[in-house]
């Protein structure tokens, strides 16, 4: 009796444990985002578990009901689903695929697992249906972000580089060419600064949408960043030749882009072209070559296409080399100052000197200011260089005053970038105070080119400088397009006639008429005149006759170091 009671108690305990286990498994199934289908081969019975109704609006009780499953998936998934539901025919234990259900916009992972006995015969099968819609949506979004630019919908830079590499490998096998067009919207910074980033982005979108229409077989297009786009063409010829694509772009840019606000804006682009294998044999190198050529196109006036050649690359490498050397020279202040005398025409007395920077690299090679100053302006190095020039010149000028007490003017060339610095005026005043130089003894030279972008801002600063006594000189007069319009709006004291007029003033009648007219007009306005580049006695005599106030040039004085200026001052005061 006791044995029987023990057995009954044991069975009750086991039933309770099984009941708890079943409850736990049921809870797991019901809280899962999956549905399960269980099939027993011996009994031929099918049972569905968990969230079956989330996926299907029918039940399956027999193996023949599997046809209902095929009917509810999109057509391209029917055959793969049939194969995976019966993987036991191939002796497989587990396999999974993703399918999409019709009408429900659900993406479902179907995973099939089969249990075999010792003889290899299938005994049980579990089919799990898991909702992976959200995961796949996120994965699709990540895939999109990995390959496409979010602003324009074009390929992004990374995917473009990868695809271009495939083009190059294919071209190597097939003995073909691959061209890269590097496009940059001209003056885009003005649009962003003047109209705002939102308008700039909309323009980039509109231009990107237009470019997307050029994509096709063997043509891929990328938005690299900001206002830069890149096009790669495999075997460029016929309808996909560089000339045809550029002509299509150029024709489109004849008409403005219409913004959502209704405003219409015209664009132009500068384009650099480089081809495999002529320019480079690797994707990044090919892109770099096309970019270098694009910058050259911009320097030649923009709104044009330019093709790669070795000379352009050599020029670029030379500039990069100079820029790197220039950084070191700025750090070590490895420059020297020369000064070119300016003389009065009536008595050849010294009027003053113009400060001119000179630079020898570590090899002792003199690098022309015409070469390194534009590079310094582009890199921003012109700011510390300009500060050094002002201080070094004021220091030398103060010494000359102390030694010789000769009344003269120090002329300093100032770049637009220096004028834009918020502390520029304060620095000039501070340095004049430091070396005890009167503002009336300083003349700041400006060129017409620096007024083009920032006329109002720079003019306001010139007025402030002139109010404290600093003289303002307009350099290279006559070389710009609208010099006369500046004369009535600028607070200037001196006008320098460009050397290009003086070179031919003796031999060319038209030049003489223009030169005489300039001097007459300027003197009526109350400005002082200086003729640049005077190299002969004949030029000097002519300028004296037409009442030019001062001359500067090799005829009376070449640019010279500080000690030579001291010799000149010694002669003047002897």
Q: Report d(CA 248, CA 268) in Å as an integer.
A: 13
Outline where DSSP puts E strands in 277-427: 305-307, 336-344, 350-360, 366-367, 409-413
Q: Give me the pLDDT at residue 4, please.
A: 55
For residue 530, the surrounding DSSP H or E stretch is strand 528-532
Residue 220 banded pLDDT, cuts 50, 70, 90: very high
Q: Give me the pLDDT at residue 460, please.
A: 86
- Cα dihedral sign for 259, 265, 266, 272? negative
Q: Give me the pLDDT at residue 396, please.
A: 96
pLDDT digit string, tens, across residues 397-427: 999 999 999 999 999 999 888 888 889 999 9
Q: Give me the pLDDT at residue 567, please.
A: 92
Q: Give me the pLDDT at residue 25, please.
A: 53
Q: Is 368 in a helix, a strand, or coil?
A: coil
List, in order, residues 6 or more apart from 102 with CB less than 8 Å away. Answer: 72, 73, 74
Q: Give me the pLDDT at residue 3, please.
A: 57
The mean pLDDT value for 230-247 works out to: 91
Taken in order of first residue, the domains within the chain and their CATH numbers are: 13-133 (3.30.450.20), 148-308 (3.30.70.270), 334-573 (3.20.20.450)
DSSP string across 256-294: PEEPTTS-EE---EEEEEEEETTT-SSHHHHHHHHHHHH
- Residue pair 176/278 in contact by the 8 Å Cβ criterion: no
Residue 56 banded pLDDT, cuts 50, 70, 90: confident
The mean pLDDT value for 319-335 works out to: 81
Q: Report d(CA 97, CA 109) in Å as an integer.
A: 6
pLDDT digit string, tens, across residues 343-400: 999 999 999 999 999 998 777 788 888 888 888 888 888 999 999 999 999 999 999 9
Residue 78 banded pLDDT, cuts 50, 70, 90: confident
Q: Report d(CA 525, CA 489) in Å as an integer.
A: 12
Residue 174 banded pLDDT, cuts 50, 70, 90: very high
Q: What's the whole-model pTM score? A: 0.60
Q: Give me the pLDDT at residue 46, please.
A: 87
Q: Who has greater pLDDT, 317 or 175?
A: 175
Say how many residues make up the chain. 574
Q: Give me the pLDDT at residue 403, please.
A: 93
Supply the mean pLDDT for the chain.
86
Q: Report d(CA 200, CA 436) in Å as an integer.
A: 49
Q: Who has greater pLDDT, 147 or 510?
A: 510
Q: Give me the pLDDT at residue 145, please.
A: 57
Q: Give me the pLDDT at residue 399, please.
A: 95
Q: 134-167 burial by CB neighbour count: b if 16+ within 10 A, else e?
A: eebeeeeeeeeeeebbeebebbbeebbbebbeeb
The mean pLDDT value for 523-530 works out to: 91
Proportion of the chain above pLDDT 90, given as a percent: 46
């Amino acid at each position: 009796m006791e044995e029987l009671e023990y057995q009954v108690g044991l069975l009750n305990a086991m039933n309770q444990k099984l009941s708890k286990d079943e409850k736990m498994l049921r809870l797991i199934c019901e809280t899962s985002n999956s549905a399960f289908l269980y099939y027993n081969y011996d009994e031929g019975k099918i049972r569905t578990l968990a969230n079956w109704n989330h996926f299907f609006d029918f039940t399956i009780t027999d193996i023949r009901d599997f046809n209902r499953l095929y009917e509810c998936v999109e057509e391209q998934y029917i055959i793969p689903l049939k194969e995976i539901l019966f993987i036991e025919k191939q002796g497989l234990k587990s396999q999974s695929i993703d399918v999409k259900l019709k009408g429900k916009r659900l993406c479902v992972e179907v995973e099939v697992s089969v249990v075999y006995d010792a003889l290899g015969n299938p005994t049980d099968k579990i089919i799990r249906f898991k909702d992976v819609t959200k995961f796949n949506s996120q994965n699709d979004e990540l895939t999109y972000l990995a390959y496409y630019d979010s602003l324009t919908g074009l390929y992004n830079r990374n995917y473009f580089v990868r695809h271009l590499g495939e083009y190059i490998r294919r071209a190597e096998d097939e003995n073909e060419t691959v061209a890269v067009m590097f496009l940059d919207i001209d003056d885009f910074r003005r649009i962003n600064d003047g109209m705002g980033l939102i308008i700039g982005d909309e323009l980039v979108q509109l231009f990107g949408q237009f470019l997307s229409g050029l994509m096709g077989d063997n043509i891929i297009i990328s938005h690299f960043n900001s206002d830069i786009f890149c096009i790669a063409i495999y075997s460029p010829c016929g309808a996909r030749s560089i000339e045809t694509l550029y002509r299509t772009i150029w024709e489109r840019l004849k008409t403005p882009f219409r913004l959502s606000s209704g405003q219409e804006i015209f664009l132009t682009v500068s384009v650099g072209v480089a081809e495999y294998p002529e320019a480079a044999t690797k994707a990044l190198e090919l892109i770099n070559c096309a970019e270098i050529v694009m910058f050259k196109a911009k320097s030649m006036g923009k709104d044009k296409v330019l093709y790669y050649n070795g000379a352009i690359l050599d020029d670029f490498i030379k500039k990069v080399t100079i820029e790197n050397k220039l950084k070191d020279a700025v750090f070590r202040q490895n420059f020297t100052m020369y000064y070119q005398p300016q003389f009065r025409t009536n008595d050849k007395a010294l009027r003053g000197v113009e400060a001119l920077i000179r630079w020898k690299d570590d090899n002792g090679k003199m690098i022309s200011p015409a070469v390194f100053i534009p590079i310094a302006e582009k890199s921003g190095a012109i700011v510390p260089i300009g500060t050094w020039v002002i201080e070094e010149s004021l220091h030398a000028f103060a010494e000359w005053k102390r030694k010789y007490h000769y009344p003269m003017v120090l002329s300093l060339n100032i770049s637009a970038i220096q004028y834009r610095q918020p502390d520029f005026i304060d620095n000039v005043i501070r340095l004049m105070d430091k070396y005890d130089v009167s503002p009336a003894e300083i003349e700041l030279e400006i060129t017409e080119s620096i007024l083009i972008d920032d006329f109002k801002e720079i003019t306001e600063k010139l007025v402030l400088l002139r109010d404290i006594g600093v003289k303002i000189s307009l350099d290279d007069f006559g070389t710009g397009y609208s010099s006369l319009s500046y004369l009535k709006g600028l607070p200037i004291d001196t006008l320098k006639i460009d050397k290009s007029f003086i070179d031919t003033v003796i031999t060319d009648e038209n030049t003489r008429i223009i030169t005489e007219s300039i001097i007459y007009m300027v003197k009526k306005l109350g400005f002082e005149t200086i003729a640049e580049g005077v190299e002969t006695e004949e030029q000097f005599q002519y300028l004296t006759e037409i009442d030019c106030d001062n001359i500067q040039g090799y005829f009376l004085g070449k640019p010279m170091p500080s000690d030579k200026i001291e010799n000149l001052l010694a002669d003047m005061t002897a």
